[in-house]
Structure 1
Amino acid sequence: MKLGNNFTLDKYGLHLRFVNEDDAEFILNLRTDERLGRFIHYTENDLEKEKRWISDYKIREKNGTEYYFIYYYKGEPIGVNRIYDIKEDHATGGSWVCKTGLPMELPILMLIILREIIFEMLNLSYEKFDVRKKNHKVLRVNELFGADKIKETDLDYFYELSSETFKQKKSYFLNLLNVNKLN
């Protein structure tokens, strides 16, 4: 299953849509921020290169092999994440980067929405992802979601999260976050 060309979603007080070239500066600022960028793959601080990457991504989006989302809260962009390496029964979730200073609920809701798309809209069985070993907050969140650590390298832990486990944990997180207060 593929997401529609002009996919947007309003949920849990957040608005999301596909990334486009106009978002390049916001994304580049997130990815090259010294504090935020320490746990993600290196991104060169080159706006034109970022726009070209997004232009190439739009082809993968059209083919249904990758989706890159930008999230808004109260009309302001707050972060991004992606679904990529989409296969018959699984995909990889990643590139989860958010502005600093946000209420802690918002990044977690972004992650919940990403997983709802993977499991409920794309109907995939499991998600694969990796997390830098030093990214303790993200490690903790994903372990609370019930993700299974399947391997590691010197730098990263690799996880899988099944659709069933996500469904079991989702309502717990939504209640914990009291999402009604964000709408």
Structure 2
Amino acid sequence: MMQLESKTLRLRLVEESDAGFILNLRMDERYNNFLSAVTPDLESQKQWIRNYKSDEQAGKQFYFIIERKDGKPCGTIRVYDLRDDSFCWGSWILNQSKTRYAALESAFLVYEFGFGHLGFRKSHFDVMKGNKGVIKFHQRMGAVKVSEDDQNDYFEITQDAVEHAMKVLAEKIK
């Protein structure tokens, strides 16, 4: 697999052995306010990963563990809902083991994957309305709100906007 690395982080594809880490992360009340509910069952999580792996092989979705360069996992991020010119990303969780600029670094890495490796020109994603910090983060990166419903705001961001954000924010993560 291609290398997806930044100054302090790397992304690697999820393996079944990551099930316990993912389940603990998703069950942790500090991180799950804005996530879909998950069954607190390790075997169910392993089965989900086994099923996901066939989607990964078919190029339909990609689920990554975010880990520090020392190998300690500190989060997850997923690329899915691949369309003609756009990819969606989400399942973005960072725990307290994250590095200082893990949010920026992991976002730039997922964009590198979607734009550079998959060849898309824009990204679409949704954020639950109460998740104000994440909404602000995406808007600072150059994302534009394109619609909303009762629960979510829907955004798009172009490759050009991300490249501009990288230039502006690059000093922070060097």
Residue in structure 2 matched with residue 105 of structure 1 by the alignment: 101
Which one of the candidate residues 18, 22, 44 is aligned to 1:23? 18
Instruction: Work out whether 1:144 is the aligned partner of 2:140.
Output: yes
Q: Given residue 64 of structure 2, which amino acid in structure 1 is its aligned partner?
A: F
Which one of the candidate residues 142, 152, 156 is aligned to 1:156? 152
CA contact (8 A) 2:146 2:154 kept: yes
Q: Quote how far apart the aligned CAs of 1:103 are.
A: 4.1
Instruction: Work out whether 1:86 is the aligned partner of 2:75.
Output: no
Structure 1, unmatched stretches of 5+, are 1-5
Deviations 1:34-79 (A, max 9, x none): 1201111111111111111110110000001100011111221011
Q: Quote how far apart the aligned CAs of 1:12 are.
A: 2.0
Which one of the candidate residues 27, 41, 44 is aligned to 2:39? 44
Identity %: 32
Q: Quote how far apart the aligned CAs of 1:28 are.
A: 0.7
Q: Quote how far apart the aligned CAs of 1:136 are.
A: 1.3
- Cα distance in 2 for partners of 1:163, 1:45 equals 37
CA contact (8 A) 2:144 2:156 kept: yes
Residue in structure 1 matched with residue 5 of structure 2 by the alignment: 10
Structure 2, unmatched stretches of 5+, are none
Aligned length: 173
Residue in structure 1 matched with residue 59 of structure 2 by the alignment: 64
**TM-score, length-normalised on structure 1?**
0.89
Q: Given residue 82 of structure 1, which amino acid in structure 2 is its aligned partner?
A: R
- Cα distance in 1 for partners of 2:44, 2:151 equals 26
- Cα distance in 2 for partners of 1:137, 1:15 equals 23
**TM-score, length-normalised on structure 2?**
0.93
Q: Quote how far apart the aligned CAs of 1:138 are.
A: 0.6
Aligned-residue Cα RMSD (Å) equals 1.4
